């Protein structure tokens, strides 16, 4: 597994009718694949997120859409950034991800996190609970999901979940790459060190060096080589030479890049890669002027020599 250059599709508001919505998603995924991106991710949400739009803006269910993308692409890895554990029983999630792996011929990535968007939980009837409870749920879920992905049949009785010889067949392979998103130093990073292949850091540019130091320390405490826990950062990108920093809200300046492809790549190099992060997952803004082909290709051509060096 290697996620050095990924694309996240964060919204489906393209200024088109619904009949052109998914063809536009396919077009983005195919452009990313042709440009040399190694992975394509969707958000696992049912309503659009604050900051990106209103809750009623278009949002596709992630695993249904990923299954369709698996038949429209050939090479890129496919996953969510990241799955909300609270939205599915762990056995259902294990079944969904192994199915995606079969459909895609071994290209699935299991991104997973605790879940955080309270409005979705309240509106759709998912139990939200406290921050601590959601982490305990995720820990229990992993004790079910990880054995199932290996072909084992776990019997488990916990506070939140129970199984009896649970199985997921068919499977394409015995290990599906595991990604967690976040940067919490008490819970997320230790969990990443214990279970995961990849940590997608949700942090500001100015925090990256410190967070990577915590990653190294938590790995070393349990005897893991820190180099085996790959890292990336999700970076919002406005690929438009006419956009200046004055137009970017202060809340987003620590996780966003903007300008021409050359300016975007220069910012990624100095703010992300030079800090020691292994890769970048680009989240291009498309809800301003719709999907504009060519932008992510231009960025990829400049970024590939840096991330795959």
Domain around 114 = 5-307
The label of the residue with tokens 């919002």 reads 236
Rounded to the nearest 5 percent, the helix, strand and coil shares of the chain are 45, 15, 40
Q: How many CA atoms lie within 13 A of 215 on its CB side?
A: 29
Question: Predicted confidence band at 242 (pLDDT cuts at 50, 70, 90)?
Answer: confident
Q: CA angle 59-99-116, nearest 5°? A: 40
CA distances from 292 to 153, 282, 296, 297 (A): 46, 15, 9, 11
- pLDDT score at 158: 97
CATH number at residue 178: 3.20.20.30
Q: Is a pLDDT exceeding 90 seen at residue 51?
A: no
Residue 156 has which token pair? Answer: 């488990």
Looking at the chain, the whole-number percentage of residues with pLDDT higher than 90 is 87
Number of domains in the chain: 1
DSSP 167: -
Q: Is a pLDDT exceeding 70 seen at residue 287?
A: no
Would you say 25 and 65 are in contact if contact means Cβ atoms under 8 Å apart?
A: yes
The whole-number average pLDDT for the span 215-244 is: 94
Structural element, H or E, at residue 132: helix 131-149
Q: Is a pLDDT exceeding 70 seen at residue 1?
A: no
Would you say 114 and 129 are in contact if contact means Cβ atoms under 8 Å apart?
A: no
Q: How far apart are the first and last CA of the chain?
A: 16
Query: CA-to-CA distance for 208 and 224, rounded, in angstroms?
Result: 20
Long-range contacts of 201-206 (CB under 8 A, 24+ apart): 201/231, 201/232, 201/233, 201/234, 201/277, 202/234, 203/233, 203/255, 204/254, 204/255, 205/254, 205/255, 205/271, 205/272, 205/275, 206/254
Query: CA-to-CA distance for 194 and 158, rounded, in angstroms?
Result: 20
- pLDDT score at 235: 95
- The C-alpha torsion from 155 through 157 and 161 to 163, rounded to 10°, is 20
Give pTM, 2 decimals: 0.95
- pLDDT score at 84: 96
Q: CA angle 32-237-4, nearest 5°? A: 50
Burial class (CB in 10 A: 0-12, 13-18, 19+), 144: buried
Query: CA-to-CA distance for 243 and 160, rounded, in angstroms?
Result: 48
Question: pLDDT tens, 81-119?
Answer: 999 999 999 999 999 999 999 999 999 999 999 999 999
The whole-number average pLDDT for the span 205-230 is: 97
Question: Predicted confidence band at 309 (pLDDT cuts at 50, 70, 90)?
Answer: confident
Strands 108-113 and 178-181: parallel
């Amino acid at each position: 597994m290697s996620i050095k250059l990924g694309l996240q599709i964060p919204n489906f508001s393209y200024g088109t009718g619904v009949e052109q919505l998914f063809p536009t998603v396919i077009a983005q995924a195919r452009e990313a694949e042709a440009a040399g991106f190694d992975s394509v991710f969707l958000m696992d949400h049912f309503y659009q997120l604050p900051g990106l739009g209103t809750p009623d803006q278009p949002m596709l269910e992630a695993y249904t859409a990923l299954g369709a993308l698996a038949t429209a692409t050939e090479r890129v890895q496919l996953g969510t950034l990241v799955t909300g554990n609270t939205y599915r029983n762990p056995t259902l999630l294990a079944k969904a991800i192994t199915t995606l792996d079969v459909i895609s011929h071994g290209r699935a990535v299991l991104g997973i996190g605790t879940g955080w968007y309270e409005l979705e939980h309240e509106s759709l009837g998912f139990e939200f609970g406290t921050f601590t409870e959601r982490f305990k749920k995720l820990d229990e879920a992993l004790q079910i999901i990880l054995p199932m992905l290996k072909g084992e049949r776990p019997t488990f009785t916990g506070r939140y979940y129970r199984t009896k010889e649970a199985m997921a067949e068919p499977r394409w392979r015995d290990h599906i790459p595991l990604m967690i998103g976040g940067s919490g130093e008490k819970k997320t990073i230790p969990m990443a060190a214990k279970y995961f292949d990849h940590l997608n850091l949700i942090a500001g540019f100015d925090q990256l060096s410190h967070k990577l130091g915590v990653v190294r320390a938590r790995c070393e405490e349990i005897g893991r080589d820190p180099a085996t826990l790959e890292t990336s950062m999700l970076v919002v990108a406005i690929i438009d030479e006419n956009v200046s920093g004055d137009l970017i809200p202060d809340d987003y300046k620590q996780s966003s890049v903007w300008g021409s492809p050359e300016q975007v790549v220069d910012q990624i190099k100095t703010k992300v890669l030079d800090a020691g992060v292994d890769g970048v997952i680009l989240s291009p803004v498309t809800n301003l002027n719709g999907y504009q082909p060519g932008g992510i290709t231009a960025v990829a051509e400049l970024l590939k020599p840096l991330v795959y060096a």
